[in-house]
Structure 1
């Protein structure tokens, strides 16, 4: 057999060989994701809590959150640099799971905010929100991607592991999204109720999430893994990794669109549908995400992960537009939410697999495996996008005349709430579809990984 023929045969054989996930990974890895998914539900009410219970104007809330999230850019870069220089007996990314404790404690502290002046309340919100996202979430996100890359026997297992984690995480998100509004309604929708809710979710989820650290070890090593990369060299390595830059850009864009919609959801139920209890019903729309993540391992093998993401982005755009046909129809709103949910969340759910692929591409391209920096690049852009989304939402709501002290908002405010819940996120989904077209790494990965293995064997 000729050398090109032999190489093609090896690539085909490598594509067929994928080791199965161990029972320990299947059982304990998703627990951390469940904890952070539930935390996402709780923190999703921060804007509402700050404006209606801490007495901070919605425009100021959006501005503070935006500034805090932009600050994430600096902490993500430092986290990536720190992780790339971390080599302990517990591994490289695994030790950063302890950030989950600080993450939940900061969330609890935020919802237990004492009565203060507006200035002190704003300062308290900024500090707590910065701790939650800029410090603890940053370390968890950057460390988690590196942890996964080194806990797997084969990087192609990432889609299956993410599928399991996302399925369970989405189910728990859905359950928490149903329970939280009902708890709020029964406890009286007061500041004391928010304290009870934060503690009820925070303590058990903190304990559950930490089980991953104690039960899952890092075991995958590469010959370049222990190299210490300087800050300047780290930036040079990233500049040559065009695919992580593209993934980061898409993540930023999707985070803007998603947060515009998420941060308007409560207002939509309260002021457009006149029923905050609909939040619980709309939470059932997460079922569509569960279906996608369950099917993704099969769909990914047949059509490719990126192609599935692109189709889902079009479904998302259609779903957001659908609710405009009858603004007073609850069934149409539920159907719209069910369909639109896959628009952004399919990408969010499996972007970690793309990041691991980009780690391999970066090593193949430059000879340096800067795992922390690659993970940080995706993380920082996601947070900057979320910052822009939250800030833009608050800015637009403020411009439209939103006033949390009013039971009925003006026509202009209602029009803005509708726009932020329909055609604006739909436009973001369409652009997401176009951007994903430029991600070509997936089709070249078999050859890249084969060449990487050959290089490592030579060393």
Structure 2
């Protein structure tokens, strides 16, 4: 008889005592460490928020070219996801299923980003420069996909306990808030002033080395976090399936939970991708408010408030379930941004500013902090909810395919999010701009109304869509208990057959 080594198991599903399921549970530090994988890729994501200014102001590409180019490259980004997902599901080597993709992905990110920002400006021929930019950006996309796919797919091996999974959202939200909160502060209050705007080569040469080093450190931490869990006994039923590309269609048609989560989460991300676009920040804070430093200071305030809201949100998610917590905080974000939209419509240039700290500024600050923090809770809960969808697929079909589930989500997510730069780019073209607005652009009412629509209007529409989609999402607390019990029974049967 061949003994199987199965560690880190515990009893935890709260149904009747006879139906208690033995679940895979992680140590708290493992969840926190693995969350650093998302931080590693988000370091590059926050850098690429400003890539339009590099492409337009440094590389010299026309604004329409930049909009079309970045949209096309993000569509390519989405196309790479199913391929990487299939590779993850077929991988089970000495370094496990997930660690090779984390390590190789980060190495590719280092090389491609260095080439993009250091070599592109040195190419004198315009056509050659554009082709080089496209090729290197495509390589960057491959590296980004390799590493970021693991964040979603690896959740299912880390822990299967419904009470633990929301903890990933806690650590992930804190880290995401830190990078997306502190970096804009640094850019708007230090770099933009130091180098005279966002479209300077010196600014990017200042940022790039810091991003590369910090992301590499985060990747090492994340690899340590998942190390002991990246083994066959934690891979769903313990069986590594043969995955075919046509299986993607089957999953899309039959996995209702994944369908609804994709609709909810991707619509949110598209709208917030527009709302947090660097050009929207310039129009809102720099031109309408006349105080671009406010962007960085608000990000810092949002960071502090977001931490508190996240702690509350994850506590609620662990007590009830992720679905109900997602809906609760989406509704709160919707309410706050609706109030902000009304406030902005009735505000004049200079009304909201830290140099004019009156009631409009106070109200904007309060509702922005609560609204943005609530969005971050809901948005980051979607990642452990993908693990629930992975388990649900195992429950439905017996297949453990975390790579496929995670990258199906990413594929649609990136496909829609690829439109964010185009939406912003063509929006500013519609109001008469041939180059992106910058800090020296004069105020007009068309800038005000466009900024309000992009900053508040699109997110409001997205959150309404999310709330409707969640009404049809089947994975509440009771259903997840059924799912985990069935998976455990299937796993025990598979292990018993393997020992014979």
State the shift of 1:409 in Å: 5.5
Q: 415, 423, 444: which is aligned to 2:457? A: 423
In structure 2, the residue corresponding to 1:440 is in which secondary structure?
A: coil
- 1:393-404 equivalent positions in 2, closer than 5 A: 393-402=424-433, 403-404=435-436
- Give the conservation status (yes or no) of the 8 Å contact 2:37–2:147: no
State the shift of 1:391 in Å: 1.6
Aligned to 1:130: 138
Q: Name the TM-score, length of structure 1 as normaliser.
A: 0.88
Between the aligned partners of 2:337 and 2:114, the Cα distance in structure 1 is 33
Aligned to 1:4: none
Q: CA RMSD in A?
A: 2.7
Cα deviation, 1:70-95, whole Å, max 9, x if unaligned, reads: 12232111111111111111111221
Aligned to 2:147: 140
- 1:200-279 equivalent positions in 2, closer than 5 A: 200-214=210-224, 216-217=226-227, 218-219=230-231, 220-263=234-277, 264-279=280-295
- Give the conservation status (yes or no) of the 8 Å contact 1:237–1:366: no
- 1:341-420 equivalent positions in 2, closer than 5 A: 341-342=372-373, 344-402=375-433, 403-404=435-436, 407-408=441-442, 410-420=444-454
State the shift of 1:261 in Å: 0.6
State the shift of 1:155 in Å: 5.9
- 1:46-445 equivalent positions in 2, closer than 5 A: 46-98=51-103, 99-112=105-118, 113-115=120-122, 116=124, 119-132=127-140, 134-152=141-159, 154=161, 156-189=163-196, 190-214=200-224, 216-217=226-227, 218-219=230-231, 220-263=234-277, 264-284=280-300, 285-321=302-338, 322=340, 323-324=343-344, 325-327=346-348, 328-330=351-353, 331=361, 332-342=363-373, 344-402=375-433, 403-404=435-436, 407-408=441-442, 410-443=444-477, 444-445=479-480
Q: Name the TM-score, length of structure 2 as normaliser.
A: 0.82
Between the aligned partners of 2:352 and 2:333, the Cα distance in structure 1 is 19
- Give the conservation status (yes or no) of the 8 Å contact 2:36–2:219: yes
Which stretch has the larger CA shift, 103-112 or 438-447?
Answer: 103-112
**Structure 1 residues 256 and 208: alpha-carbon distance in aligned structure 2, compared to 1, 3 A threshold:** closer
**Structure 1 residues 194 and 235: alpha-carbon distance in aligned structure 2, compared to 1, 3 A threshold:** same
State the shift of 1:242 in Å: 1.8
Cα deviation, 1:381-413, whole Å, max 9, x if unaligned, reads: 111121122222212121122233773265434
In structure 1, the residue corresponding to 2:16 is in which secondary structure?
A: helix
- Give the conservation status (yes or no) of the 8 Å contact 1:30–1:165: yes
Cα deviation, 1:132-187, whole Å, max 9, x if unaligned, reads: 3x312211222232323223364652211331232234234322232233331353
Structure whose residues are more often helix by fraction? 1
- Give the conservation status (yes or no) of the 8 Å contact 1:100–1:210: no
Structure 2 gap ranges (5+): 1-13, 354-360, 495-500
Which stretch has the larger CA shift, 187-196 or 144-153?
Answer: 144-153
Which stretch has the larger CA shift, 265-274 or 437-446?
Answer: 265-274
Between the aligned partners of 1:94 and 1:27, the Cα distance in structure 2 is 16
Between the aligned partners of 1:57 and 1:317, the Cα distance in structure 2 is 35
- Give the conservation status (yes or no) of the 8 Å contact 1:261–1:421: yes
